[in-house]
Amino acid sequence: MKLTTHSLGETQALGKDIGEMLNAGATFALTGDLGSGKTSFVQGLAKGLDVSEKYYVTSPTFTLINEYPGRCRLFHVDLYRIENPYDLEELGLYEILDSSNVTAIEWADRLPDDFTSDYIDMKFKILGDESRIISISAIGPESTNLINKLKQFSHKVTKTLR
């Protein structure tokens, strides 16, 4: 599935729409260049998960993991500074993935291929100053169900993006 967003607000709205559909246990593997919209998507995801406005969702580039309470607990992970796959165990990433949270992982291309058996793969590509192409695919049965649900409600998503 490919979607085009034309502004920061549209990328956030996409995240919000997806967040509203989620139950605990979803994992998002986000890849794309700096400034491609990964954090903007997670900001919207947090809104869709009913994370309070008092929490400002930022990329955890230096802290590596931020946690936000909401309808489902959201873990926002940034692997930009991770160079060694062994650091992932010390980080506690696998414990986060094994629990009933929603996890969004920026720079997921730094993960081993078998980091989990079920996740939503999202690739962000810059088209212009504000426009992005977001390619979304599912790996595993739960994520496939989520993508199918998203396709069913794609009229809501595409209406949001217009």
- Output the pLDDT for position 63: 83
- Output the pLDDT for position 59: 86
CATH architecture observed for domain 2-154: 3-Layer(aba) Sandwich (3.40)
pLDDT in tens, the chain (162 residues): 899 999 999 999 999 999 998 888 899 999 999 989 999 999 999 999 999 999 989 888 778 999 999 999 999 999 988 877 777 777 888 888 867 899 999 999 988 877 788 999 999 999 988 899 999 999 988 888 888 887 776 555 544 554
> Alpha-carbon distance 37 to 104, whole Å?
13
Tokens found for residue 127: 């088209």
* Residues paired with 76 in a beta bridge: 66, 104
